[in-house]
């Protein structure tokens, strides 16, 4: 029996041909060269930095574009993806906004109507004030007047025309709706007859507000001609009185008469307006 255990065991304990690291002269030279040229990697780093920056900027741009596209899609699809509660809230907000805008529109329309009516009301009030001022001016004798009316000419007979007869004629005409009157004497003087006018006599002549009017006197009246003519023809009236005294009253209806004589307004001495 051949015994080979010893050599085999020894061979097993120590591996054959195991490589052993032995420094090579070339490797040492390379290591030394790498150590000596350590500045070369630092020279290439700026290029890499610029490349990274460009890449980063590109990625950021792409990301921004994607976000913008996604936002647009989200804006158009928010309602599709919204919950029922969100839709209810959005609807409530829209209803509230509509109500507020409707109220604002109504208020603006109301303001417009008030301004329009106020303007028209103001214009109407001004127009009415002018009309009232004109009416008062005509009645007070401070404004000239024109319109339909009559012209009465008093011709005396044996006796001069008395002041009472002219006053009765004025009263009858006022009662028949006369709005403006003036009287002219034979001497060409004219007096506007107003509420404060008084009549008198002096030496056979007529005195009206202190102005002497000689015969014949002419009374010009603005009003309804038919009504005033009827009033003058009443039995026992002015016409009958003048005829009894031997005179005549000639009534003429020229169509339109003008009264140009005016009086200067005067402040009342005793009367005051009631507040």
Can you give the pLDDT at residue 68?
A: 53
Can you give the pLDDT at residue 35?
A: 45
Can you give the pLDDT at residue 170?
A: 94
Can you give the pLDDT at residue 77?
A: 52
Crossing angle (nearest 10°) for helices 225-232 and 163-175? 140
Q: Where are the domains of the chain?
A: 143-259
Please state which CATH class domain 143-259 belongs to.
alpha beta
Can you give the pLDDT at residue 121?
A: 61
Can you give the pLDDT at residue 27?
A: 47
Q: For the residues of 161-218, what is the DSSP string, one character each? A: PPHHHHHHHHHHHHHTT--EEEEE-TTS-EEEE-TT--EEEETTEEEETTEEEPSSEE
Under-70 pLDDT residues of the chain: 1-79, 82, 86, 89, 114-116, 118-121, 124-125
Can you give the pLDDT at residue 29?
A: 42
Cα 71 to chain center, whole Å? Answer: 46
Average pLDDT in the chain? 76
């Amino acid at each position: 029996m051949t015994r080979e255990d010893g050599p085999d065991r020894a061979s097993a304990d120590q591996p054959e041909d195991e490589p052993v690291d032995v420094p090579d002269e070339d490797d040492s030279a390379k290591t030394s060269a790498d150590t000596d040229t350590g500045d070369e990697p630092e020279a290439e780093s700026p290029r890499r930095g610029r490349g990274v920056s460009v890449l980063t900027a590109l990625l950021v741009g792409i990301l921004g574009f994607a976000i913008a596209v996604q936002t647009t899609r989200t804006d158009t699809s928010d309602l599709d993806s919204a919950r029922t509660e969100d839709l209810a809230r959005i609807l409530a907000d829209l209803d509230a906004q509509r109500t507020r805008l409707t109220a604002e529109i109504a208020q603006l329309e109301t303001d417009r109507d008030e301004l329009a009516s106020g303007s028209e009301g103001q214009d109407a009030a001004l127009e009415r004030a002018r009309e009232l001022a004109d009416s008062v001016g005509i009645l007070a004798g401070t404004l000239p007047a024109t319109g339909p009316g009559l012209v009465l000419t008093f011709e005396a007979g044996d006796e001069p025309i008395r002041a009472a007869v002219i006053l009765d004629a004025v009263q009858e005409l006022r009662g028949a709706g006369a709005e403006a009157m003036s009287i002219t004497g034979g001497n060409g003087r004219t007096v506007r007859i107003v509420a404060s006018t008084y009549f008198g006599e002096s030496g056979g002549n007529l005195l009206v507000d202190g102005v002497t009017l000689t015969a014949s006197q002419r009374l010009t009246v603005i009003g309804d001609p038919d009504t005033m003519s009827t009033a003058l023809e009443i039995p026992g009236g002015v016409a009958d009185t003048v005829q009894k005294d031997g005179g005549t009253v000639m009534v003429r209806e020229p169509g339109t008469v003008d009264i140009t004589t005016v009086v200067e307004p005067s402040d009342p001495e005793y009367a005051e307006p009631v507040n």
